Structure 1
Amino acid sequence: MSLARILDTRALVNCRFRAAVAFACRRAAVAFACRRAVVALAASLLFAGASLAADRVAGANETMNMEPGARSAALGSATMAVDGDYLGLVSNPHQLSSVRYLWASFSHTAYYEDTRYDFASAVIPLSEGQGLGISFARFGADDIPYIREGEPLPEGNDYNTLSYDDWMFSATWGRRLFNRFDLGVGFHLLYRDMDQTGWGFRGDASLRYRVVDELYVAGLLKGWTSSATTWESGEFEYSAPEFYLAASYSLPVAYLYGKLNLYWQGAGLLHREARALGYETDDDVGGRIWESPLDWLSGGRGGIEFAFDFGLSVRAGLSSFTTFKSVTAGAGLTIAKFLRVDYAFESHPVLSPVHRVSISVSPYLFAHAPKPEPEAARRGSVGSSLLGAEPDEPDEGPDSAAPQAASEAAPEGTAQPAGQADGQQASQTTSQPAGPAPEASAPQSPVVEESSDEVLEPAPSGGVYWEE
């Protein structure tokens, strides 16, 4: 066989091999495209089926809306307006912008029929004007007796029991945007173990604005991702987003050695909702603000708090302005800079009263002194007027220690002998350089101080005497 024929045969084989490879590649590409189309079609059908099977309900993931903290509960559950209650991060994530120390908070609530709500949260300052919050909660009841259908009634305590639980995990973040704005974002996950298991999810966003030094207005977009729940049976439920407004105002009362705080939180703005707490009628549905402003205002809640300078706080509020039977009350005590205890009592027109207890501990303040006050707070920005900011100890330095020592050495009202005072003036005069006569040599009129029932005048010897 000649060399030319051999080369032609190899060229033909190479061409056929390349053609086969190209055909295989085209076939693989077509198959891959078909698979992608099938997957996309299946996903679209699945999404369409889920959309058709989704049920819009009111109050999906309602456990996320329950108030855990005793302080906010005593103030009518106006959690959005209360700053410094780190058990209310679900409804108030923007308060994390003012966190300066690490805090761990715990609460316990005993409801009716042995139903309990336990909540724990931790806040971590990330930087100045920024913080992170993590919360974990369980709401449920244990030892519920049940009998299967067809089984005989048990005798004594020999019966089966079950538990219903809602487990919630929440992550929140807050940051100060500008001098007057604070932003908060939160994501909440719920696992439900009832007659069937289920998962729930919701995302929230809030914004707070400082109108004046002690007046704040806040808004919360609850469920901007929609509040969705999926069940083991394949059922899918969701609730549409809702928007809320809140406000707080603080007024120092020097005569009573404390501060008066007012809190208000409005009803939902976007949807109609039930206002009545007595369950007497089913048609008592509240209108939106543009439909009935007075009815919308009646669906709000609020509270009043007086915080004494020595650490005691007394609180009262209404969880619904529709009835005075929803009154709430409570108290709080700052035992130390690192330890706070709160208690709340909540009444209800139908159900039994509820008692809440919460405690907050700061590991940082337990082991360290408070940090110096930020420079921005000294200039009167948001950080200095936050209602829940931790108190700082005044800075003690050599400049402040000297006057304090001098004041302690010479008590008020102690008179010096005239000769000693003249001698001190003479020594000071000799030590100073010669110059023009000071203005102090001019005759001075005696200073008279008046009190409620007496007149104080300086004595000739330098002391003080009084006349009735």
Structure 2
Amino acid sequence: MKNYLVILLTLTSLATIAQTTRKYSNEFMNIGVDAASLGMSNAVVSHTADVNSGYWNPAGLVHIEDKQVALMHSSYFANIANYNYIAFAMPLDDRSAVGISLIRFGVDDILDTTQLIDDQGNINYDRISTFSTADYGLTFSYARKLPLDGLNFGVNAKIIRRIIGDFASSWGFGLDAGIQFETDNDWKFGLMARDITTTYNAWAIDEDKFEEISSAVDGQNQELPETTEITIPKLQFGVSKKWIFNYDYSLLAATNLIVRFEENNDIISTSFASINPALGFEFGYTDLVFLRGGVGNFQNELQIDNSESLTFQPNFGVGFKYKGIQIDYAFTDIGDQSAALYSNVFSLKIDFGIFR
């Protein structure tokens, strides 16, 4: 039974201890949405042009011609964690558009065994309860075409809500900004700046609950953690081009460079910034069926013998679109190819133009 307490203590402590120097807050907002995009290893910043642009690059929202809605579901870590996403977008006029999206990443039905043993040392299984830990990201997007032909911009306002049962909760707020540019010969460029103001999360921790957990196992007492964490800015630069063959066949090739202002295990890393590339492609037939693939998340991992090994994240996907309804599937690994944590991702997109 102590093992269960140790596990609960560890999980809750990791989730709630948020030091002011911590720079990896809100990582659930970096997983990605839309199976079509995930199948291309997220290399979509330059050409995203539908309701999902609110997440990838809000500048792409100006390309929608009618109201659109998108849904996505995926399970991670052997179905322990569930990731759900819903989005809606609509044009305001021929030069601007708005969107709203909601992401939930959570683990439900976690056993709370802190009350299992009473003050007299008696075990009562009826005292076991369950709780959930969930992260929510609500995003409001606005996009507009600029006077320069082919140049668009967009902005996001994000509200972050993180809940760990009755133990702790936090609120956060952040801003994103993005631009897209398309040349006369169909080359597309995109730049997305996430958390441009540095996103802060302020935690409220139930001290009584924290004391119950930290003292549940002998020798595991801890001081109340700090209550502020930050998400540092990140840049994503993308280039893409689409070719049409014999009227019926198309090939979209895209690449992204993800820039983080820190030193880590990315394939290119300095004390100032690190850069990680992503490559993706989409082969289409009559704009009806699609085959996608990509590779990204290149990491220099340190091995036991102090040597470095290059790992990467492969992705694969297929899609089907008929009139205004699009169904996509992606087979992806949110870690690296050695961890075998592959997940099946499904998404649906509906263009309300089909009802007109």
TM-score range with shorter-chain normalisation? Answer: 0.7 to 0.9
Distance in 1 (CA, whole Å) between partners of 2:316 and 2:189 is 24
Alignment-derived partner of residue 177 in structure 2: 205
- Alignment equivalent of 1:183, drawn from 133, 149, 153: 153
For 1:32-47, what aligned pairs fall within 5 Å after superposition? none
8 Å Cα contact 1:330/1:343 also seen in 2: yes
- Within a 5 Å distance, the mapping from 1:317-328 to structure 2 comes to 317-322=294-299, 326-328=313-315
Q: Is the 8 A contact 2:46 2:180 kept in 1?
A: no
1:267 is displaced (CA, Å) by 2.0
- Taking a change above 3 Å as real, the CA distance of residues 362 and 180 of structure 1, as seen in their structure-2 partners, is closer
RMSD: 2.5
Larger radius of gyration: 1
Which residue pairs with 1:412 in the alignment?
none
Find the aligned partners of 2:48 and 2:136 in 1 and give their Cα distance: 25
Structure 2 residue corresponding to 1:140, chosen from 100, 106, 121? 106
Which has a greater percent of strand? 2
Q: Which residue of 2 aligns with 1:332?
A: 319
AA aligned to 1:300 is P
Q: Which moved more, 1:229-238 or 1:109-118?
A: 229-238
1:159–1:301 CA distance, 2 compared to 1 (3 A): same
Is 2:285 the partner of 1:303? no
Q: Percent of pairs identical after alignment?
A: 20
SS, match of residue 133 in structure 1: strand
Q: Provide Cα deviations, 1:198-255, integer angstroms capped at 9, x if missing partner.
A: 0111101111122342211111221122111100047222233232211111111227
SS at match of 1:303: strand
CA distance in 2, matches of 1:243, 1:310: 31
8 Å CA contact 2:174–2:195 kept in 1: the answer is yes
Q: Which residue of 2 aligns with 1:287?
A: 269
Q: CA deviation at 1:146?
A: 2.7
> Separation in 1 of the partners of 2:265 and 2:115?
36
The aligned counterpart of 2:229 is: 237
Cα distance in 2, alignment partners of residues 310 and 338 from structure 1 = 11
Q: CA deviation at 1:82?
A: 4.0
Q: For structure 1, list consecutive stretches of 5 or more residues without a partner in the other structure.
A: 1-52, 277-285, 369-468
SS of residue paired to 1:164: strand
Alignment of 1:44-443 (within 5 A): 55-112=20-77, 113-148=79-114, 151=117, 159-177=128-146, 178-194=148-164, 195-233=167-205, 235-254=227-246, 257-268=248-259, 270-275=261-266, 286-288=268-270, 296=275, 299-322=276-299, 326-334=313-321, 336-347=322-333, 348=336, 349-363=338-352, 365-368=353-356
Given that 1:210 and 1:216 are in contact with CA atoms closer than 8 Å, whether structure 2 keeps it comes out as: yes
For residue 20 of structure 2, give the secondary structure of its aligned residue in structure 1: strand
Q: TM-score, normalised by structure 1?
A: 0.59
> How high is the TM-score relative to the length of structure 2?
0.77
In the superposition, relative to structure 1, how do residues 232 and 85 fare at CA in structure 2: closer, same or farther (>3 Å)?
A: same
Aligned CA distance change for structure 1 residues 275 and 236 (closer, same or farther; 3 Å): same
Gapped regions of structure 2 (runs ≥ 5): 1-17, 206-225, 300-309
**Residues 321 and 253 (structure 1 numbering): CA distance in 2 closer, same or farther, change over 3 Å?**
farther
Further displaced range: 226-235 or 95-104 = 226-235
Task: Supply the distance in 1 between the matched residues of 2:249 and 2:123 (Cα, whole angstroms).
Answer: 61
Q: Please report how far the alpha carbon of residue 288 of structure 1 lies from its aligned counterpart in structure 2 after TM superposition.
A: 4.3
Question: Aligned letter for 2:232?
Answer: A
Asked which structure has the greater RCO (Cα within 8 Å, sep 6+), the reply is 2
Length, aligned pairs only: 298
Q: Which one has a larger percent helix, Structure 1 or Structure 2?
A: 1
1 CA distance for matches of 2:41 and 2:54? Answer: 16
Q: CA deviation at 1:290?
A: 8.4
